[in-house]
Amino acid sequence: NNGMAKKPLTLAFESVAGSRTDAVVVPKGYTAQVLIPWATPLNDSAQEWADDLAMTPEIQANSVGMHHDGMYGFALESSTESSRFVLALNNEYIDENALWAPQGGPTNMAEGKRPADEVRTEINAQGITLVELKKADDGTWNHVQGSPFNKRYTSATTMTLSGPVAGSDYVKTLFSPDGTQTRGTNNNCANGYTPWGTYLTCEENWPEYFVKDEGRERDDDRLGVATGRGRYGWETAAGDTSEQDGEFARFNATPNADDASGDYRNEPRTFGYIVEIDPYTGAQAVKRTSLGRFRHEGCWPGKLVAGEPLVFYTGHDSRNEYIYKFVTDAAWDPADANTPGAEGDRLAIGAKYLDKGTLYVARFNDDGSGEWLPLTPQTQTKDGKTLAEALGLEADDLAGIIVNTCDAADLLGATPMDRPEWGAVDPTSGEVYMTLTNNSERTEEGSDPTYNQGDDIQEPGTGFASAPINAANPRANNEGGQIIRWREGDSTDFQWEVFVFGAAATDTDNLSGLTEANQFASPDGLRYDERGEGQGILWIETDNGYAGVADHTNDQVLAVVPAALEKSDGSAAVVSADNQELLKRFFVGPNGCEVTGIYFTPDKTAMFVNIQHPANWPSSSDATAVTSGSVRPRASTVVIQKEDGGQIGL
Ligand code: FEO
Ligand code: CA
Ligand code: CA
Ligand code: CA
């Protein structure tokens, strides 16, 4: 590009101090409003919230789900409309104590049989909420109760399987003997979106919802399907007289040789995918299996170029797992771009791009170069076998490669990372940022000689038990985390650098020179807020458990303009002791929470973030009331605006 570089933006707000109060903190001149807390009614079938509301399957199915995480807004009338949209919101998991507070807690959570209606309620508290949000004349935001766009997708909602795994023997179940459907999605953590106007929701910590005591296969072990008892014991409600068609039995994947009709051994293989939702129609959701099967944190579209394939980046959030990208076979046709409000089959467009393409896994070399390694049945391993051969699969079994994505990635010598969480793409330059949140299983050189030379498949569990430091993941027992950035080369090559390291200001390995004003650890949520070439703001959200920082501040949102860091010679600049003051703290959340989910209206005057797993907030900070169960913490969305109505950050 030969255009005149514009002067980078200057962040105009005054950094907020670290805070450990039970409230949200915003800079001077900004307001924050709590919106759509858990259990807000979506329609008239749900009761209004009360601190002593006894939750039921019916109420929960008709109200906002629990534990808000990734989200994205879909304008209804035009792409610049900024006062009304459908919010697609992930409800990642549950706080069972808040859910069942009026009853004194959940029944038989640790042992014994769970009551069917409690399990149904918990199933309905997870998944996705679609809810219309609207700005009133006085500038406040409200949800539109009874809007035709309001809808829940839960861990029980029927969904379509699409792409290479669909219809294969790997996913044939009692529920779907032809392997084309499944029930539910859960642990929907981060999100993506597509240029054709759909929402992508990502299945992260789903394996422990299933139990499999016998007949375990390689992927059950590798991904961590439970034994004995599932995370919330949903499978224990099986056999209840009110159970319909394996409603709860499906969470027990142990093969049952006595049952001639079959069993649920393949149920876990219908999870671990990127799921596409059309927020405009609420049509049946589609699990796009071509983007790999693992603990997907999120999925982010790369730079959009007419006539070129589309790219989606996705990471596996476990210690020493990998970063992936999917490249579509189809070239981008701008005629497929979303027109808000227009009729049309957006999921058919989704099938065109997301069902056919190539999945790659990343190797980060110590010299700053990198390589995308294709996960196809024919890819050659170091031993001169094909991937299919090395995994014991039929020669053309792409479905088998996808079911065993991580094992295939091991065999290509991909680089084990410090827990990949969110990505963000500068849509002008195409540069990609990804948070690597922390890694307690990163060790000094040589401590695990088997880590990953592409020789072997990892032991059961989630990722290499330990992996030695490398240039991209250079700190042993990494508590601060880092954000890595890369730019694509001409082929399958790329160049990378670490953009910023989290740390406490006083840490000896405070590699980016952070101070009390911007110290952070465990970066998680990320958004590149495009405002024109070189004008973007990178927003960083934290989910921190490292005391070095947590003793000074609750979880937070920081902002930096990457272009403002740039060196005079044009080379890529990163946050360092020389420029660290350009990284500013914008927001701090209440006690016990993580700050996650991030969306801006097109005009940038409203910023939405989510407060997940707060300790008490927003009901009360009265510790006595909280302990007695008379108030219950409620994950919520917070909308942040400027008092003068201007753009956030400026
Ligand atoms: Fe659900 Fe990796 O965060
Ligand atoms: Ca979370
Ligand atoms: Ca996360
Ligand atoms: Ca996290």
Q: ipTM score here? A: 0.93
Give the span between the Cα atoms of 601 and 377, in whole angstroms: 42
| Closest by Cα among 124, 36, 122 to 85 | 36
Question: What's the first-to-final CA gap in the chain, in angstroms?
Answer: 26
Whether 253 and 234 have beta carbons less than 8 Å apart is answered as no
Q: How many CB atoms lie within 10 A of CB 124?
A: 25
The count of residues in the chain is 650
Give the number of whichever ligand sits closest to the CA of residue 594. Answer: 2
What are 631's two structure tokens?
């108030």
Residue 6 CA to ligand 2 centre (angstroms):
37
**Whose Cα sits closest to atom 1 in ligand 1?**
189
Amino acid at 331: A
Ligand 1 proximity of 297 Cβ (cutoff 6 Å): yes
User: Is 90 exceeded by the pLDDT of residue 13?
Assistant: yes
Contacts of 508 (CB under 8 A, 6+ apart): none
Report whether residue 541 contacts ligand 1, using a CB cutoff of 6 Å: no
Residue 597: beta bridge partners? none
330 within 8 A of 380, measured Cβ to Cβ: no
Q: Which atom of ligand 1 is nearest to the CA of 295?
A: 2
pLDDT of residue 1: 40
The SS3 of residue 406 is helix
φ, ψ (nearest 5 deg) of residue 417 = -110, 170
Q: Which of 114, 95, 43, 42 is nearest to 631 (CA)?
A: 95
pLDDT of residue 575: 97
Q: How far is the CA of 35 from the centre of ligand 2 (A)?
A: 18
Neighbour count for residue 23 (Cβ, 10 Å): 14
pLDDT at position 2 over 70: no
Q: What is the mean pLDDT of the chain?
A: 94
Between the CA of 191 and the centroid of ligand 2 the distance, in Å, is: 12
Of all residues in the chain, what percent carry a pLDDT higher than 90? 89
Indicate if the pLDDT at residue 621 is higher than 70: no
Residue 418 near ligand 1, beta carbon < 6 Å: no
- In this prediction, residue 647 carries a pLDDT of 97
Chain segment 346-360, per-residue pLDDT in tens: 999 999 999 999 999
Check pocket membership of 371 for ligand 1, CB cut-off 6 A: no
Residue 534 — pLDDT band, cuts 50, 70, 90? confident
Distance 463 CA to ligand 1 centre (A): 15
Atom of ligand 1 nearest to the CA of 543: 3
CA of 462 to the centre of ligand 1 (A): 14
pLDDT in tens, 469-503: 999 999 999 999 999 999 999 999 999 999 999 99
**Sign of the dihedral defined by the CA atoms of residues 444, 446, 447, 452, in that order:** positive
Structure-token pair, residue 87:
């919010």
**Which has the closest alpha carbon to 649: 8, 15, 27, 12?**
12
- For the cut 60, the answer to whether the pLDDT of residue 385 exceeds it is yes
Check whether 151 has a pLDDT greater than 80: yes
Name the band, by pLDDT with cuts 50, 70 and 90, for residue 449: low
Average pLDDT on 437-453 reads 81
613: amino acid identity, one letter: H
The helix/strand/coil state of 531 is: coil
Residue 251 CA to residue 155 CA, distance in Å, equals 11
What is the pLDDT at residue 5?
63
Distance CA 525, CA 598 (A): 7
Cβ of 203 closer than 6 Å to ligand 1, yes or no, is: no
269: Cβ–Cβ under 8 A, 6 or more apart, which residues?
Answer: 165, 170, 171, 219, 293, 403
Q: Does the C-beta of 235 come closer than 6 Å to ligand 1?
A: no
**Cis link prior to 523 (omega < 30° from 0)?**
no
Which pLDDT band, with edges at 50, 70 and 90, does 415 fall under?
very high
| Cβ of residue 132 lying under 6 Å from some atom of ligand 1 | no
Residue 204 Cα: closest atom of ligand 1 = 1
Whether ligand 1 lies within 6 angstroms of the CB of 526 is answered as no
Dig out the tokens for 137 from the structure: 């004349």
Would you state the structure tokens that stand for residue 479, as one six-digit string?
A: 């508590």
Helix (H) or strand (E) holding 193: strand 188-193
Answer whether 92 contacts ligand 1 (Cβ < 6 A). Answer: yes
pLDDT of residue 623: 47
Q: Residue 501: what pLDDT?
A: 98
Q: Buried b vs exposed e over 343-377: b needs ≥16 C-beta within 10 Å?
A: eeebbebbbebbbebbbbbbbbeeeeebbbbebbb
Ligand 1 pocket, residue 594 CB under 6 Å: no
Comparing C-alpha atoms, which of 274, 272, 299 is closest to residue 285?
Answer: 274
Pocket lining: 321 vs ligand 1, CB cutoff 6 Å: no
**And the tokens for 106?**
């959940």
In angstroms, what is the span from residue 206 Cα to ligand 4's centroid?
15
Q: Residue 530 — very low, low, confident or very high, per pLDDT cuts 50/70/90?
A: confident
- Separation of CA 148 and ligand 1 centre (Å): 30
CB 102 within 8 A of CB 629: yes
pLDDT at site 622: 47
Q: How far is the CA of 224 from the centre of ligand 3 (A)?
A: 18
